[in-house]
Amino acid sequence: MTEIPKTMQAVVMHAPEDYRLEERAVPTPSADELLIRVEAVGVCASDLKAYAGAAKFWGDENRERWVQPGIIPGHEITGEIVSGSEEALAKHGAALGDRIVVEQIVPCGECMYCQRGWYWMCDPHDMFGFKSFNGGMAEFMIVPPLARVHTISKEIAPQHAAYAEPLSCSMHAVERAELQFDDVVVIAGAGPIGLGAIIGAAHKNPKLVIALDFDDDKLELAKKCGADLTLNPSKVDLDAEIRALTGGYGADVYIECTGHPSAVPQGLNLLRKLGTFVEYSVFKEPVSVDWSIISDDKELDVRGAHLGPHTWPAAIKIIEKGDLPLDEICTHQFALADFQQALDSVADSAGASVKVSILPGL
């Protein structure tokens, strides 16, 4: 069992572009809490947008600030349980020494959304690494009683285990699309979320899964994740290609996983009439589109997707079975002290990274 020190290193957010490595006391779990030694935490595009000061997180004239200065970021978390009472362990169906992955949200259990079973839309919306609860960019972390945790094999690399979070999110986006066997599905983006959506869609066995990205190396990776066809928008006429594949009609489903504003009108234009558009990304700034395409022109179904409700067991199963080329997806791992390099690697869209993780034990 891991010896628990008195202090630990942690990344602390103070303001946009002001994150600092600090020494903090290792937290002591209360009777209903667990303490985990963090083995890996993924660095998400949302982490990057929060670091950059996006209004969604830090607020502006139209919205209140959501993130809390002084909190430890990181929400793609895996770690070993090193302390916890019998009560807390039983609550989570776990044992000391187990490796767990932790869902991003800590639902209150009392609001209308929680009471109706929509826990992922919980009204207070307390999230690890953003609001109310410290996240995983630290050597140790508290798991509160209302958190949702899942055990995962210790036989896989920690950065692969932490990929359960983005993969569960991707699979929820696929669930929102309600794919049919005859569907032609276009997935925009072959980053961590897009790749997860590709394998999730491929497991649904639609007629065709098409991946879009400007990076040919990522498109090769998309093929390994189950894409039937890959297209680089800088090299082909997407509209012509998709129409040629669909008898001139357009795609049945478009899942947006890039977070780039241009991918939104692109999807609206590539869809057939009565098609389905699923938006997963978090955008730094508001995005405008011609809503007449959605209504009068095509009568589209436009659906949002948030977090990964009910998809974690399936995501974990895919990871444990080895169905994904995770060594090629989880490309870069950094020590806690190198958190700035990790953030910069995610920001470098032209770089070689796909999924970036921080391993506090390095």
From the number of C-beta atoms within 10 Å of its C-beta (0-12, 13-18, 19+), residue 27 rates as: middle
Reported as half-sphere exposure (CB side, CA atoms, 13 A), residue 252 has a value of 18
**Arch. (CATH architecture) of 177-304:** 3-Layer(aba) Sandwich (3.40)
pTM for the full predicted model: 0.95
| Integer Cα distance of 55 and 38 in angstroms | 29
- Do residues 255 and 195 touch, judged by C-beta distance below 8 A? no
327 is written with which tokens? 């060594």
> What confidence score (pLDDT) does residue 268 get?
98
- H-type alpha helices, 138-215: 158-162, 164-177, 192-203
Which residues, 6 or more positions from 274, have their beta carbon under 8 angstroms from its beta carbon? 298, 299, 300, 301
> What confidence score (pLDDT) does residue 2 get?
60
What are the start and end residues of each CATH 3.40.50.720 domain in the chain?
177-304
- H-type alpha helices, the chain: 45-52, 55-58, 86-92, 112-115, 158-162, 164-177, 192-203, 216-224, 238-245, 263-270, 291-292, 312-321, 326-329, 339-347
Please give the helix or strand (H or E) that residue 358 lies within, else none.
Answer: strand 356-358
pLDDT along the chain (362 residues), means of 10: 87 96 97 97 93 90 89 98 96 96 98 98 96 97 97 98 98 98 98 96 97 96 98 97 98 96 97 98 88 97 97 97 95 97 88 93 92
7-163+330-358 fold: Quinone Oxidoreductase; Chain A, domain 1 (3.90.180)
- Give CA 228 to chain center in angstroms: 23
347 is written with which tokens? 């920001």
What are the start and end residues of each CATH 3.90.180.10 domain in the chain?
7-163+330-358
| Integer Cα distance of 166 and 198 in angstroms | 12
From the number of C-beta atoms within 10 Å of its C-beta (0-12, 13-18, 19+), residue 292 rates as: exposed
Identify residue 237 by its one-letter amino acid code. D
Q: What is the DSSP letter of 60?
A: B
> What confidence score (pLDDT) does residue 3 get?
82
Torsion (CA) 160, 162, 168, 174 in degrees, nearest 10: -50
